[in-house]
Every structure is written in structure tokens, then in C-alpha cells.
Amino acid sequence: MAPKTLDALHGDRYKWIALTNTTLGVFMATINSSIILISLPAIFRGIGINPLSAGNVGYLLWLLQGYLLVTAVLVISLGRLGDIMGRVRIYNLGFAVFSFASVLLALDPYRGGTGALWLVLWRLVQGVGGAMLFANSSAILVDAFPSDQRGMAMGINQVAAIGGSFIGLIAGGLLSVVDWRLVFWVSVPFGIIGTIWGYHSLRDNGKRAAATIDWWGNLTFAVGLTSVLVGIVYGIQPYLHHSMGWTSPRVLVAFVIGAVFLIAFFIIENRVTSPMFNLRLFKMRAFSTGSAAGFLAAVSRGGLQFMLIIWLQGIWLPLHGYAYSATPLWAGIYLLPLTTGFLLAGPISGYLSDRHGARILSTTGMVVFGSSFVGLLLVPTNFSYWVFAIMVFFNGVGGGMFSAPNAAAIMNSVPAEERGGAAGIQAAFMNTGFVLSIGIFFSLMIVGLTNTLPKAMFKGLSAHGVGATQAHAVANLPPVGSLFSAFLGKNPLKNLLGSQSVSHVSHADWLVLTGKHFFPDLIESSFHHGLVIVFGAAIVMSIIGAVASALRGKRYVREEQSLREHLGDAAATSSAVPGEIALESEVVQ
């Protein structure tokens, strides 16, 4: 039987070692992509800087986005490098780089702007290590497991990858309460263990690609994607009298440069002998449709996470008596149903996809995922928690049902010598999707707030003694300041009014204005208007993703297709698990 033959080749013990080590690697990398979201207030207090000051917003955005930006830019190159030089070698180096950067982040010796710059720079280096781990973990797994167990293995790995981003929210809240440096120290022992263990236990079972490094492709892709993502980072910042910076020269130039270099990149990749980004992979239906669906899911998931944090921290938690300083931690705790749904559905769906294929499971998962956005739109802004918990639980279930089968189907469809590059492409889509999601969803939310918040803000401030001129000035400040303030666990009204010279306001009115209820009550209607736009976009993306998933074709495994071509239909069929494989050439278009 084919599976037993593969098990004899790889060894039952080795495949579990590979699964455990790569799961640890991606779990550590994704926890660090989100752990900083909740711990930013403590980090900025620790280095003595106000991130909401005009000159410091850049530090805030780069700490949020820099890690994801670097991983998005480098994963394809490092995945392809793994195909050439050995996946395990690049993967193990990633563990070492990640651990080294984590130590230096925790030992930040400076304060103020210099301390913030230190953190930004070493977060970028940490992102390089994370990219090495992301780019090669899936390929190492596919090399180690037989085709009838890859769904289960990828399910566990995907749960670690995406579940880690949710668990990081809770870990950041808990650790930053004790000491902000623990947010970085926590990765060090796991990184050291993973590095030593990987060097002694992992081995390259995959085919090496005899190829040269595509230097021009790497350069144009890095410059192009970096320019686009940098443009997004600055696009969500206010510009002159505009609530966002999408029309600023800096953003427009970044997008033009990005477009030029990415066009050059695709021209180069179609002409070089050994391309970094093998565009021929997209001729396979299983690969192209799965990649499209995965990218749309990543954009929707990233935007949801960001919006739910602001929803909880800026409105729901203060309305229910929580101090703003405590909201980051409690936001992570109240999002546990989302994590639980994903952790439950991921491995089960991966296991089932080994027997029944990915199409039904992943498509159903995207439908459930999209339906949860519809449910969240029907939930009032000041909701009953259990209704909210059920909606986000099903969002996690839908995400888990989709992600593991989709990842296994994509990796099964590619040639063995292309697995590193294919894994890098998937990781790039996931990380790029997350960066794009913040730009897209945040911009949509600001559009919704800009249309309704100034009038509500002016009316509320005037009713509590703030003069018309001052109320107008505060009400017309860009909404991004209020959203970031809530995101950082600061009272948005106290932050806004603190920047203005407010006179003729009684002590009682001041207590109301800066209390727990005024801002949430004020923004509730405007925020829901923004949520309609944001979640409406997520629903559309989920529908398109479900359609793409449904069009992927029947279950397809590259090695077994090759076996059929070489041995004939009867031999290939007898070597497969009964009733398991539909080896049909319609997948390769």
C-alpha cells in the first residue's frame, strides 16, 4: 500500500518530530505577529513615549505593521531559497534569527524616540526570522507526511499559525501587565529549544531544485511590495485637512513605485529560467483557486480581528464598567470563543479532507465564515455577550473548516521540488492580506465615522458646556486619533480634550465627558454605520472566496498523478487508499 511505503521511507517517528517542531515554529512566529497589538500601551509606557503625539504615530504604525510587512515581502524568496539550498537549513536559521532578535528587543537600552526606533528595527529583523519559518514549515511537513495524512498535519499546523495570532492577544495582555519586556522574552526559550532541536532532528527529505537565485526577481518584488505596503501604512494616517492620507504625495509616489516594480517583476518572472515566483503554478486550478480563496480569507480575518478589538475596547468594555487601561487584556479574553472555534474546527477538517478532499469542507467553511459577518451586523453595538460569543465562535469554526483543507490541497497540487516556493507564496498571501486588511478595513471604518461622527461629537460636547468653537475643533479632528486611542486602551475623549484648551466646563460636565460612558454612547451609532460598510466588504470577499474554493476541482495529489502516468491506471489505483483519490487531469488546466 502506498501510504505504508511512504511511512517506511520517512519513518513514523520522524514525521511527528517534523510536525511538532514546525508547529512550534509557526506558532511562535504568529503569536509575535499579534502579541504586540495588546501590549503596545505597556511598551510605550515602558520606553516613556506617547504614541498618539503627532511625531510618534509612525512608531506606532511601524511596530504594528513592520513585522508583517517584512514577512510578507521575504517569504516567497526564502521559500524558493529553501527549494535550492534545503528547506530545513533555512527553517533552522529562521529559529536562530528570530531568537536573537527577541533577545535584543527585550534588552532595549533606550527611552523615548531612540527606544522606539530600536524596537522597530529589531522587529524588522525578527520578521526576517519569522519569514524563514513561515516559508518552509509547510514544505517540510508535506515532505515528511504521506498524502493521506497531510490534511491532518496541515490542519494542526494551520491551527498553530492562525490560532497563534489570537492567542497572542491574550498572552500580550497577561505578560504586559507584569513587565512589557516579557512580551519579547517569552519567545526566547522556545526559540532556543526549537533551534537546537531542529538542527539535531530535522532533515531534508524533499527534492532540491537545481537552480540559480533569481536576483532581479527578488529585488523587484521586494521593492515593489514594500512600496505598496508602506503606502498603505501611511495612507491610514491623517494628511493636512484630510482624515486619511491616501491623496498625499508620499502615498501616491509609494504606490506608483510599487506598481512599476511589480510590473517589472512579473515581466522578469515570465522570462527567467529559474523564477523566484513560479507563475506556472497558477495554471493549476487547485493552486490558483485555493490561493485566491486563501488570500480573501486572510484579508477578511485580519480586518475582523482589528475591528473586534476596537469594538470591544472603544465601546463595549467601557459601557460595561471596565477601565480603559484594562480593556486590552479583557478584549483578548472576550475573543476566546473565536480562538476556540478555530482550534476545534481546524484539525478535524484537516483530518476529514484527507478522506473526502478539500472542496466541500473549505467551501462550506467560507460560507460559515461569511455568514458570521452577517450575524455580527445584526448584533447591536452594545450587545449581549453570549450572542456576540456565538457569532465569533462560528467565525472561528468557519475559518478552521476552510484553512486546513485549503492549505493541504494547495501543497498537494505542486511538484515536490516547488514546495518551498509554493509555501512561501501562501505565507506571502496570508501576511500581505493581513497588512492590506488593516488598510482596507480601517479606511472603510474611517469613511463611515467621518460621515456621522462630527455632528454627534459636536452635539454631545456642546450639551456639556464646551464652547461652539472648541466643540467644532474637537469634533472635526480625524477619527483615526479616536480609534487608535481606544485601540491603545486610552480614553479617547480625555485624549482629544487634553489637546485643546477647554474652558467654561463645569467639574461635573468634565467628569461626564471623560467618563466611561460618554464616548461609547457618542460613537455607538457612528461605529455601527462603519461596521455595516466594513462587514459588508468582508461578506463580499467571503462569497467570492467560497466560489473560488468550489471551483478548485476534485481531490488532486501531484505524486499520485505522476504515479498513474508512469504505471498506468490500474497500478496507480491499486496503490491508493480505496475511495480516497480522484486523480483527474482536469485539475491541471
Report how far residue 563's alpha carbon sits from residue 543's, in angstroms, rounded to the nearest whole number: 36
Give the contacts of 400 (CB within 8 A, at least 6 positions apart). 158, 159, 162, 341, 342, 343, 344, 345, 346, 348, 349, 365
- What is the average pLDDT across 230-237? 80
Q: Calculate the alpha carbon distances from 258 to 24, 63, 430 in Å.
A: 34, 22, 19
Pick the closest to residue 297 from 447, 139, 432 (CA basis): 432
**Joined grid coordinates for residue 564:** 498513474
Model confidence at 576, pLDDT cuts 50, 70, 90, reads very low
Q: Does residue 425 sit in the same domain as residue 460? A: no
Using one digit for the tens of pLDDT, what is the confidence trace for 284-302? 888 889 999 999 998 888 7
Q: Does residue 126 sit in the same domain as residue 259? A: no
Q: Does residue 336 sit in the same domain as residue 442? A: yes
Q: Does residue 512 sit in the same domain as residue 550? A: no
Residue 209 falls within a domain, yes or no?
no
- What is the average pLDDT across 30-43? 81
* Ramachandran category for residue 108: left, alpha or beta (phi over 0 → left; psi -120 to 50 → alpha): beta
Q: Is the pLDDT of residue 5 over 50?
A: no
Using one digit for the tens of pLDDT, what is the confidence trace for 96-141? 999 999 999 999 999 988 999 999 999 999 999 988 988 888 788 8
Report how far residue 333's alpha carbon sits from residue 171's, in angstroms, rounded to the nearest whole number: 10
SS percent in the chain: helix, strand, coil, step 5: 80, 0, 20
Residue 336 falls within a domain, yes or no?
yes
pLDDT of residue 587: 37
**Joined grid coordinates for residue 440:** 482596507
pLDDT of residue 385: 94
Report how far residue 566's alpha carbon sits from residue 578's, in angstroms, rounded to the nearest whole number: 20
- What is the average pLDDT across 55-62? 78
Domain limits for position 569: 2-203+276-448+527-573
Q: Does residue 300 sit in the same domain as residue 368? A: yes
Instruction: Mark 409-448 as b/e (b = at least 16 C-beta within 10 Å).
Output: bbbbbbbbebbbbbbbbbbbbbbbbbbbbbbbbbbbbbbb
- HEC string of 253-300 equals HHHHHHHHHHHHHHHHHCCCCCCCCCHHHHHEHHHHHHHHHHHHHHHH
Give the contacts of 12 (CB within 8 A, at least 6 positions apart). none
Q: Cβ of 533: how many Cβ atoms within 10 Å?
A: 17
Which domain-ending residue is among 275, 302, 327? 275
Residue 589 falls within a domain, yes or no?
no
Which domain-ending residue is among 275, 296, 321? 275
Residue 588 falls within a domain, yes or no?
no
Q: Cβ of 185: how many Cβ atoms within 10 Å?
A: 15
Sign of CA dihedral 496, 499, 504, 509: positive
Q: Is the pLDDT of residue 77 over 50?
A: yes
- The H or E element containing residue 194 is helix 187-201
pLDDT cut 70: percent of the chain above it: 89
Domains identified in the chain, total number: 3
- 3-state SS, residue 499: coil
**CA 403 to mean position of chain CA atoms:** 13
Residue 586 falls within a domain, yes or no?
no
Residue 131 and residue 75 in contact, taking contact as beta carbons nearer than 8 Å = yes
Task: State the pTM of this model.
Answer: 0.78
pLDDT of residue 574: 42
Q: Does residue 59 sit in the same domain as residue 196? A: yes
Q: Does residue 249 sit in the same domain as residue 284? A: no
Report how far residue 365's alpha carbon sits from residue 553's, in angstroms, rounded to the nearest whole number: 16
**Joined grid coordinates for residue 322:** 471596565
Report how far residue 266's alpha carbon sits from residue 277's, in angstroms, rounded to the nearest whole number: 9
Q: Does residue 142 sit in the same domain as residue 188? A: yes
Q: What's the CATH number where 441 sits?
A: 1.20.1250.20
Model confidence at 499, pLDDT cuts 50, 70, 90, reads low
Residue 579 falls within a domain, yes or no?
no
- What is the average pLDDT across 17-32? 87
Residue 479 falls within a domain, yes or no?
yes
**Joined grid coordinates for residue 523:** 460613537
Q: State the DSSP code for 418.
A: G
pLDDT of residue 75: 82
Report how far residue 480's alpha carbon sits from residue 495's, in angstroms, rounded to the nearest whole number: 12
Q: Is the pLDDT of residue 584 over 50?
A: no
Who has greater pLDDT, 555 or 441?
441
Q: Does residue 286 sit in the same domain as residue 349? A: yes
Q: Does residue 469 sit in the same domain as residue 545? A: no
Using one digit for the tens of pLDDT, what is the confidence trace for 171-186? 887 888 788 999 999 8
- 3-state SS, residue 242: strand
Q: Does residue 76 sit in the same domain as residue 134? A: yes
Which domain-ending residue is among 275, 308, 325? 275
Q: Does residue 459 sit in the same domain as residue 433? A: no
Residue 103 falls within a domain, yes or no?
yes
Partners of 242 in beta bridges: 239
Pick the closest to residue 133 from 209, 49, 26 (CA basis): 26
